[in-house]
Amino acid sequence: MKNVLFTILMLASIFTTSFASNKITGAVIDDNDNSELIGANVMLTDSTAQVIAATATDNDGKFILEDINDGSFILQISHIGHTPQSIVLTNLDKDVDLGTISLVASSTVLNEVVVEGDAVINKIDRQIILPTTAQRKMSTNGISLLQHMQVPSLVIDPLDKSVKTGSGKDVQLRINGVESTKDEVLAINPSDVVRIEYHDMPGLRYGNAAAVVDYIVKKKTTGGNIAGDLTNGVKPLGAGDYNLSARYNFNKSALSAVFSYHRRDLEWIRENYETFIYPDHTLQNREMGNPTKFKFDKMNLSISYNYANDRNMLNITFRNSYDNTPNSFSDRNSTLYQDDIEYDISYNQRSKSYIPSLDIYYQLNLKNDRHLYLDVVGTYLKSSNDSRYSMTNDAITPDEIISHVDGEKYSIIGEAIYEMPLWNGTFTAGAKYNQSRTQNIYDGNISSKVNMEMSEAYMFAEFRSHVNKLNYIIGIGGMRTYYEQEEMKQEKYIVRPTLTLSYNFTNNIYLKYNAYVSGYSPSLADLSDVMQEMDAYQVRHGNPSLSSVTFYTNSLTAGWNSRHVNVELSGQYSYDDKPIMEETLYENGKFIRTYANQRGFHRLNLQATVQVLPFKEYMAIRLTPFFNRYISNGNDYTHTHSNCGFRGSIMGMYKNWSMMIDMNTSYHNLWGETLEKGEKLHSIAVGYNTHKWGIQMMLMNPFTKRYSIEAENLSRLAPYSQLAYSDDFKRMVMINFSFNLDFGKLIDIGGKRINNSDTDTGILSGSK
């Protein structure tokens, strides 16, 4: 592997000295007062109107277009409220500085340059995607815009609006480079979105996230904005997601608030089939459930103050997260059949948590396009967890297992990042430190107390550049993990190199390769030296001997884009060395469920996405078949599993109307000894949108006879299978109303570039 990386690096250096590329630069100002026009659209097209490159002007009204081949082009510049301007560039064969370009203010607000179809520009580690006029018109927030743009490899849950990769990993959301929450993205006005940058191979700068979606939003002057996205169930009434936001700007300052409320009050039925293999006999349980409530209320609030000028930016944000779950997903009321004996089973788990935090961020813009970003976050986590399990019949005294856990955690996270131009690229270096202290008190059938100190330090340096059609990122990072619990101490160092190569054969055909080494720490709950009874047969036990894991991954992506058809093929292979996975033991008449550093875990993910645009942006048809292969090597077990399926969607837009049909087969995940079979989802949504508001009706799973989620444990000592199903998620009808209203002349103060949070309470649960 080292020889391969060395060879690739040598090739990259050879290419660096062998090719040249053209660059177009300039600045855009208002013809009336010579003020810089921030967020002006800049597009370069060829003689066939194919978009070759695109960008938007920065805070100084400047722009740069790179990687331009020789030839003749048309440069189109537009800004809301100004007359668009076109510049013909004939026989371009060297770098061109267009100087200052003036746009004349128009008497009426004009539309931007119309982009027909999906304009996709492939860059070093990302795709630049320009939303069309119709897509903006049909959207009322950032998530719905992303949904209407039908970005390949991204999956948006129609119910909770979460954004994930095709392999089910969370996507990091950003606004103008700032890591942001889903609620903050829901507050974006689509008409303010200049472009979306999709980083499908993020480097160390983004912590090797699975993917990054960055909304580049226009800068404005004064005024404010209020927005909302409200979803409620009609059948059933027990589901709702509500998001509200407000922003007001004055001079160089801005105040903003974002509030979200998510609730569920539904019923599930659970079936469990368990086998316990004792040294002298085998016991089988068949547990048939009755309808059982699943209920939670979750609220998030953030209040921010932002001050920015040309050189400095200060952002202070207070956040508070509240989670009240009186009935967990694992609750059940059921009948247990054990040969000819019947038992009544009841299990309930309640939990609450409060997580206030204070985030102080500072950005310093230095000369020569250098930047320094600093972020400090202090968090307090207060949590409680209560569970009660009972097993009884007419012949025995009830067997009850009661547990109560109170937890407190204090943490502080500090991060610094420095960026500067270097040669023909960008050099980035950074450091991050996380220190936490946790105290959890367990009371009940088994009582104990856990005090834990934990810290994690991380440093990295990364250089990204390009040579003609070859782009590359080279980085090196290192992390140190440390924790202390009672008399036990543990320390581990992990080196984290990364390499990304991207080659554009033409403007429409590209090939990308990414390889990196990363690491992750065990959760606080898994590290806790504490035991929790699960039922009459099983005990959950933490393992303070767990150590951090080294993670290796390689991915290769090839794509072809045209006016009406986009095709992307991707494959990823990854390996976890000494992963933290399940282990089942038998001691003193009980089966112990715990975790240990096992031998290794292999995963292979393959997928192909074909997107057809038969009528420009008015219709998009997408089909993504996938194949997964897992090999789980434990210390005393080996499990394998293969899963294939597809995701498909049809999206249509006409005038103010839109319709979307989604269908997904079950996506399986094997980890350790547990195989989880994800949801089979399909939905139909019809909506009506104006520029400021929209309403949509959504029918979830209209053709499902029974909505279910399955899990299977493959342990040789205590295997089980679980089935949870609900009629509430069958033919589910949801109504969504959203609005996004501006008032005054708006200003969007510069965004933060880094963001941190801590939500790990570290409580070990006895649920199953």
Query: What would the pLDDT profile of 64-108 be if each residue is shown by its tens digit?
Result: 888 788 888 888 888 766 777 888 887 788 888 888 898 876 533
Helix (H) or strand (E) holding 142: helix 142-149
The stretches in the chain having pLDDT less than 50 are 1-20, 107-118, 746-751
Cross-strand bridge partners of residue 3: none
Q: Whole-angstrom Cα distance, residue 675 to residue 714?
A: 8
Q: What is the pLDDT of residue 150?
A: 75
Q: What is the pLDDT of residue 600?
A: 97
Q: Whole-angstrom Cα distance, residue 604 to residue 607?
A: 10
Q: What is the pLDDT of residue 49?
A: 63
Q: What is the pLDDT of residue 616?
A: 72
- Residue 413 · residue 376 · CB < 8 Å: yes
The answer to whether the bond into 236 is cis (omega within 30° of 0) is yes
Q: At 206, phi and psi to the nearest 5? A: -110, 20
Q: What is the pLDDT of residue 579?
A: 97
Q: What is the pLDDT of residue 749?
A: 44
> What's this model's pTM, rounded to 2 decimal places?
0.80
Q: What is the pLDDT of residue 13?
A: 43
Q: What is the pLDDT of residue 11?
A: 42
Secondary structure (3-state) at 109: coil
Q: What is the pLDDT of residue 718?
A: 95
Q: Whole-angstrom Cα distance, residue 89 to residue 47?
A: 11
Q: Domains, the chain, ranges and CATH?
A: 1-113 (2.60.40.10), 223-743 (2.40.170.20)
Query: What would the pLDDT profile of 480-519 be if each residue is shown by its tens digit?
Result: 999 888 778 889 999 999 998 988 887 778 898 999 999 8
Can you say how many angstroms the Cα of residue 508 is from the centroid of all Cα atoms in its chain? 27
- Residue 110 · residue 83 · CB < 8 Å: yes
